[in-house]
Amino acid sequence: MFKSVQKMFLRNLKIHQTAIKTIELIQKCSFESSASTIFALSTNIKSSGSAIAVIRVSGDKTLNVINSITKGKADYIRSKPRHACLNDYVDPKTNELIDKGMTLWFPRPKSYTGEDLCEFHVHGSLAVINKMLSVLNDIHGCRLAKEGEFTRRALMNGKLHLIQAEGIRDLINARTENQRRRALGGLSGMLDHKFNRWREQIIKSMAHLEAFIDFGEDELIDDSVVKELSENIRNLKKEIDQHIANTKLKSDLIKDGFRVAIIGQANVGKSSLINKLSEKDVSIISPISGTTRDVVETWMDIDGNCVCIADTAGIKDSNHPHIDPIEQQGIQKAIQRAKECHLIILVIDASDVYHHKKLIISNHLKKIIDEKHKSELLYLINKIDLLTGKNERQELESILIANKIQKPIYVSCMNNEGFDNFVQNFKQQIEQSVGNNEEDRISFSNERHVMHLAETSKEFTITMENFDKDLAISSFHMRQASYHLGCLTGNITTEHVLDVLFKDFCIGK
């Protein structure tokens, strides 16, 4: 019994020391956070200016700043929290009028940062903005904010969790509707709640395991506890692994875009297709074979999804009699793009297939088709308008079936025939790959999340391997699993993690 008590004392001492270090770190960060009053322009301004610009100030000296540039109106503004007050803004050194604008005062702790905070809403000309920033910079104890420093202070003052801070960053950078929705998944706290639930399960299991280690030898706790713990950890690991799998499959598609490659033989209508899809002249169209020699990209927002569509060079075999070195390079780039993309649109000339009574494609194209899963291929039969005979289209369908072309889509980029049907199929393909339901939003994680979740899963594996060998080792690795989940939510953090996160923010956020 004495050994059990001794082990428990040493373990609790270690936990206490770790907690002290964490508290010291948070206190250090909080002290640095509140050491000065910061200011920054919070709105994006074009070179031509804008109607309104918002300058944000946060820190202990915020009221002093207000008083300095409003001719001593700080007491009045202070009496009107969260109200827009019309003021003259002046240079305190010369008493020169800078602008007339609105001041909003947010007293701590009910502000974005948890500190005293104000916003100056001024006219958005570059001259006004530059003068305001210059005057603020000259006020003692006031300095320009660093990237993401307002949000960093909000995090340190408990106004946000780490995952919510990441959600704000992703929301600011969102280019499409789907990216916006995914960012809100983090900002709303759904993801944070999920990770905290997992961590609470680990801590509960850890407490039971350590109780068994300390008192099991005295037969105060039944042996079935370990079996139940093993089952709980196994189920939790399965849930985390599934989350990682969903994230790896879809997060890149959301953040970096769904990549589409339009490939095919020369002169089958690839450039016409990309121009028609994007509704602009992306690629040059010409009857001359091999006009497109490089990969030509365009980005589109399709039903809230960021999609990159690439037109490529017509793919011929290397031994083709009419192929020059430049065209050969274009073909290699086309092949590489086809390997990297999420979806291939293989364009086929309907008239060419009909007149040759078979599908003629290069060996390169055959290899690409063989390597891609059927869900990553759309067969687009273009120039259907050239088949005007009564039975020509039926004969074409028979030829395609004989060549194992599955679910071909018939279109004419010339007269729009079948194009709406193609677009509908194209959108469905994107939607199936990217996903757009509530669970997809909750499962959306970034690289930092995946790293810590993968480490958590690894610690679970080692934990279960040692249940029959050494429970003390299992207990240690469960603590490590809890540590990694704590890093996710910000319960455990380091300056390095915060530096990496906030460097991607704009100055005024």
pLDDT tens track for 236-259 = 999 999 988 877 767 777 777 889
- What pLDDT shows up at residue 20? 40
Residues 294 and 242 in one domain: no
In terms of pLDDT, which residue wins out, 314 or 435? 314
Listed range (13-27, 143-157, 352-366) with the worst mean pLDDT: 13-27
Q: Is residue 240 part of a domain?
A: yes
Residues 418 and 488 in one domain: no
Pairing of strands 296-302, 37-41: unpaired
Q: Is residue 23 part of a domain?
A: no
Question: Residue 249's domain spans which residues?
Answer: 187-254+446-496
Q: What is the CATH number of the domain that holds 211?
A: 1.20.120.430
pLDDT above 60 for 2: no
pLDDT above 70 for 15: no
d(CA 263, CA 312): 6
Choose one of 115, 145, 175: the last residue of a domain: 145
In terms of pLDDT, which residue wins out, 348 or 35? 348
Listed range (85-94, 422-431, 466-475, 483-492) with the worst mean pLDDT: 483-492
Q: Is residue 277 part of a domain?
A: yes
Residues 236 and 265 in one domain: no
Give the contacts of 187 (CB within 8 A, at least 6 positions apart).
164, 167, 168, 171
| Mean pLDDT score of the chain | 82
Choose one of 415, 435, 455: the last residue of a domain: 435
d(CA 103, CA 117): 11
d(CA 57, CA 383): 62
d(CA 430, CA 424): 10
Q: Is residue 215 part of a domain?
A: yes
Model confidence band, residue 44 (pLDDT cutoffs 50, 70, 90): confident
Residue-wise pLDDT for 65-87, tens only, equals: 999 999 999 999 999 999 999 99
pLDDT above 50 for 436: yes
Model confidence band, residue 117 (pLDDT cutoffs 50, 70, 90): very high
- Concatenated DSSP letters of 26-55: HHHHHHHHHSSEEEEE-S---TT-EEEEEE
Q: Is residue 297 part of a domain?
A: yes
Q: Is residue 211 part of a domain?
A: yes
Residue-wise pLDDT for 91-101, tens only, equals: 999 999 999 99
- What pLDDT shows up at residue 245? 83
Q: Is residue 295 part of a domain?
A: yes
Q: What is the CATH number of the domain that holds 400?
A: 3.40.50.300
**How many structural domains does the chain have?**
3
- Concatenated DSSP letters of 199-244: HHHHHHHHHHHHHHHHHGGGT-S-THHHHHHHHHHHHHHHHHHHHH
Residues 381 and 239 in one domain: no
Residues 370 and 384 in one domain: yes
Residues 403 and 484 in one domain: no
Residue-wise pLDDT for 142-157, tens only, equals: 999 998 899 999 989 9
This model's pTM is above 0.85: no
Q: Is residue 10 part of a domain?
A: no
Residues 463 and 486 in one domain: yes
| Cis peptide bond upstream of 92, omega within 30 | no
Task: State percent of the chain over pLDDT 70.
Answer: 81
Q: What is the CATH number of the domain that holds 47?
A: 3.30.1360.120
Pairing of strands 305-311, 296-302: antiparallel
